[in-house]
């Protein structure tokens, strides 16, 4: 008994220590930055006192970018759901050379630097109507960038369940294609769809590379505004901005995480 718990104790403490170290590595800079957004004067330090002044200023000046970011993120989610889920389904049902090729092609925007993709978009569609000055231009970039993540996440779940047989079972009971898709395919891929949605939302809200090239002064998203404020304003404002960003993204992360846990299919 004693040797067992001793041995486990050592391993346990080592593991705990390592985990905490990694966590600290990841979170300390974030916490520092958020704290900076709450201090009255960063150069004096915490003893200058805590204040919400900077946060208020960010909300006053940048609320437009926050709303636009959210608008683009949810529009992007809608697009990737409508495009990505059927794509994943088609790829899952027809495994073969062509399907693999399509999968690789879909990954292109992830592999190529965002700036290059953005340039390509501008060269190709920049002259089309008012698109260049519309938020839809950024949306197109975001959909291009996030779609593979949705497809991959859904495809992973579709590959882990025997979709063909489930569908054949539903068909044998008289269900046509649309009904099968709605009552059997979608519910059983729920965890993948939720995981994909989570990825898409967070990637879209935080996307900078593409967006920086695609944006105009009137279509500024949160990360672009963040870069501006870091470059041109007091460090406290930039940090307060980071704080706002976190407050926005973390609850949605937790929410989706919880949802995907509950929806995980148990086989």
Partner 1 sequence: MPDSFHLDAVPIRLERCGKTFAGSARALEPLDLTIRGGETIVFLGPSGCGKTTTLRIIAGLESPDPGGRVLFGEEDVTALPIERRNVGMVFQSYALFPNMTVAENVAYGLKVRKLPRPERARRVEEMLDLMHLGEFAGRRIDQLSGGQRQRVALARALVVRPRVLLLDEPLTALDAKLRDSLRLEIDRLLRGLGITAVYVTHDQGEAMALGDRIVVMAKGRVAQIGTPREIYYQPADGFVADFIGTMNRLGGTVRGGMLNIGTASLPWSGADGAVELLVRPEDLALASEDDGHLGGSVAAAVFLGDRTRLVVEPTDGPALTVDTLGRSELGRGDRVWLRVDPARVLAVP
Residue 125 CB, nearest approach to partner 1 (Å): 40
Residues facing residue 50 across a β-bridge: 39
**Cβ atoms 142, 210 nearer than 8 A:** yes
Burial of 123 (0-12, 13-18, 19+ CB in 10 A): exposed
Taking the alpha carbons at both ends of the chain, their separation in whole angstroms is: 36
Closer Cβ to partner 1, 206 or 263, answer by number: 263
d(C-alpha 107, C-alpha 98), whole Å: 14
Residue 96 CB, nearest approach to partner 1 (Å): 11
Residue 170 CB, nearest approach to partner 1 (Å): 7
Torsion angle in degrees (nearest 10) through CA of 170, 176, 178, 179:
-50
Residue 264 CB, nearest approach to partner 1 (Å): 11
d(C-alpha 9, C-alpha 225), whole Å: 48
Q: Select from 210, 190, 209, 186 the least CA-distant residue to 198.
A: 190
Closer Cβ to partner 1, 35 or 166, answer by number: 166
Residue 153 CB, nearest approach to partner 1 (Å): 18
Q: Select from 247, 144, 159, 155 the least CA-distant residue to 195.
A: 155
Residue 203 CB, nearest approach to partner 1 (Å): 28
Residue 116 CB contacts under 8 Å (≥ 6 apart), including other chains: none
Residue 160 CB, nearest approach to partner 1 (Å): 12
Closer Cβ to partner 1, 96 or 129, answer by number: 96
Question: Per the structure block, which two tokens stand in for 173?
Answer: 């009971």
Question: Per the structure block, which two tokens stand in for 99?
Answer: 């399907």
Closer Cβ to partner 1, 232 or 266, answer by number: 266
Closer Cβ to partner 1, 51 or 160, answer by number: 160
Residue 122 CB, nearest approach to partner 1 (Å): 44
Closer Cβ to partner 1, 3 or 165, answer by number: 165
**Cβ atoms 32, 45 nearer than 8 A:** no
Closer Cβ to partner 1, 8 or 179, answer by number: 179
Question: Per the structure block, which two tokens stand in for 196?
Answer: 């994909």
Residue 242 CB contacts under 8 Å (≥ 6 apart), including other chains: 30, 33, 34, 37, 226
Residues in contact with partner 1 by the rule CB under 8 A: 161-162, 165-166, 168-176, 179, 183-184, 187-188, 190, 265-267
Closer Cβ to partner 1, 161 or 256, answer by number: 161
């Amino acid at each position: 008994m004693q040797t067992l718990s001793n041995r486990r104790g050592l391993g346990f403490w080592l593991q705990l220590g390592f985990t905490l170290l990694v966590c600290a590595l990841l979170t300390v800079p974030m916490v520092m930055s958020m704290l900076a957004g709450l201090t009255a004067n960063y150069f004096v330090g915490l003893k200058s006192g805590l204040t919400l002044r900077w946060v208020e200023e960010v909300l006053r000046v940048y609320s437009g970018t926050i709303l636009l970011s959210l608008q683009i993120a949810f529009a992007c989610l809608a697009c990737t759901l409508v495009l990505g889920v059927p794509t994943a389904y088609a790829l899952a049902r027809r495994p073969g050379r062509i399907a693999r090729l399509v999968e690789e092609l879909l990954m292109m925007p992830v592999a190529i630097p965002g700036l290059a993709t953005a340039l390509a978009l501008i060269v190709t569609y920049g002259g089309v109507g008012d698109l260049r000055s519309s938020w839809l231009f950024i949306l197109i970039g975001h959909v291009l960038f996030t779609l593979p993540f949705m497809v991959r996440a859904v495809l992973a779940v579709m590959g882990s369940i025997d979709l063909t047989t489930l569908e054949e079972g539903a068909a044998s009971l008289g269900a046509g294609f649309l009904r099968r898709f709605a009552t059997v395919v979608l519910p059983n891929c729920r965890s993948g769809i939720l995981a994909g949605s989570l990825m898409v939302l967070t990637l879209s809200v935080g996307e900078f590379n593409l967006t920086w090239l695609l944006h105009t002064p009137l279509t500024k998203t949160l990360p672009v505004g963040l870069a501006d404020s870091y470059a041109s304003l007091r460090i406290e404002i930039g940090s307060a901005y980071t704080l706002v960003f976190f407050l926005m993204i973390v609850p949605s992360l937790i929410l989706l995480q919880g949802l995907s846990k509950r929806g995980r299919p148990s086989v």
